[in-house]
Chains A and B, each alone.
Chain A
Amino acid sequence: MVNRVIVGAHYGLRDWLAQRVTAVVMAVYTLIVIALLLADAPTDFAGWKAWFAQGWLRFATFLFIISLVYHAWVGVRDVLMDYIKPVGTRLLLQVLVILALVGYGGWALQILWRA
């Protein structure tokens, strides 16, 4: 294969926009949760369990986790694109990051619905 610099993948806007939207979702969620906890924080395990079992909070936490995973993916991918030059290594690391993030996301949701 010829060794030329090729650019023009024609994507990037969606990820850039998604990173901003997910940041807003996480910021809003964080503020709401902090406000709620300042008002009335659960004191024991049963209290925390009941707190996270509220339907709307489960919904919001689900959105938060999805946002976190997508946001982290775009950010870590950008870091890898900046610093890891060999394409094979970059692809491998990107795949590992995707697998880790999907795994973490699933795990978090499982904890959330187990509560």
Chain B
Amino acid sequence: MRLRIQRYDPDQDVKPYFKDYDVQLEPTDQMLLDALVRVKEADDSFSFRRSCREGVCGSDAMTINGKNGLACITRIADVKEPVELRPLPGLPIIRDLIVDMTQFFNQYHSIKPYLINNAPAPDKERLQSPEDREELNGLYECILCACCSTACPSFWWNPDKFVGPAGLLHAYRFIADTRDEATNERLDNLEDPYRLFRCHTIMNCVDVCPKGLNPTKAIGKIKEIMVKRAV
């Protein structure tokens, strides 16, 4: 299998460059991540993140033939050769396919991604009706791989100010949670020309999400709730 991988070691290289690899696959190699492991066997200076290798941890997000995705759930049979791999765009490169996700996680933390409820805890769990729980489907599944946010031009231009699709999806996950009591504070926190309204609904996030989620829809629902609150 032929791969064309962007390499960069800030200690040695002046700027990133592409290196071609030809690797022999075993019959058990089904996913792109398996091919990357073969590359690593052949050239141990090559670096990338990986962990669960089944699309749950979100570590091996990268740009695969121009589109962000997870190497571990991208089938080798589905990608066109030579497969061009780049690190996620818009974030500082640490080395090869490894990027510095600090800005991404700063935005995630800024929306307070936890349930806020100061009422005394009941004896058992805080209950939700099945209908209320239904609203959280398509939100809680996000694995924070950053494929969406790094595909978003608004996040490229203002990663320090715009929350980004992943963060906003999580923001709506807590706004939509009937057990959460901080809805107003959450909306106040987002009502800002940069934090929320940098989203111009171009839907790159929906296009790339490896989990098939829809951050644009979640962002639309946040705006809808804001309208309800204000009008």
Contact = CB atoms under 8 A, between A and B. Distances in A.
A113 interface: no
B157 interface: yes
Given A13-B223, A16-B223, A7 B188 contact: no
Interface string B118-131: 00000000000000
A86 interface: no
Given A16-B197, A78-B200, A82-B198, A11 B191 contact: yes
Report whether over half of chain B's contact residues are helix, strand or loop; otherwise say mixed.
loop
Report whether over half of chain A's contact residues are helix, strand or loop; otherwise say mixed.
helix
Contacts of B230: 13-14
B192 A11 contact: yes
Contacts, number: 48
Interface residues of A, number: 16
Contacts of A12: 191-193, 196-197
Interface string A1-19: 0000101111111111100
Nearest to B157: A82
B188 to A, nearest CB: 7
B192 A9 contact: yes
A83 interface: yes
A110 to B, nearest CB: 32
Q: How large is the interface on B (under 10, 10 to 19, 20 to 34, 35 or more residues)?
A: 20 to 34
B150 interface: no
B195 A11 contact: no
Nearest to A14: B230
Given A11-B192, A13-B191, A16-B197, 19 more contacts: A7-B161, A7-B194, A7-B195, A8-B189, A8-B192, A9-B193, A10-B191, A10-B192, A11-B193, A12-B191, A12-B193, A12-B196, A12-B197, A13-B226, A17-B227, A81-B194, A81-B198, A82-B154, A82-B198
24 contacts: A5-B160, A5-B161, A7-B161, A7-B194, A8-B189, A8-B192, A9-B193, A9-B194, A10-B188, A11-B191, A12-B191, A12-B197, A13-B197, A13-B226, A13-B227, A13-B230, A14-B230, A16-B197, A16-B223, A81-B158, A81-B194, A82-B154, A82-B157, A83-B157
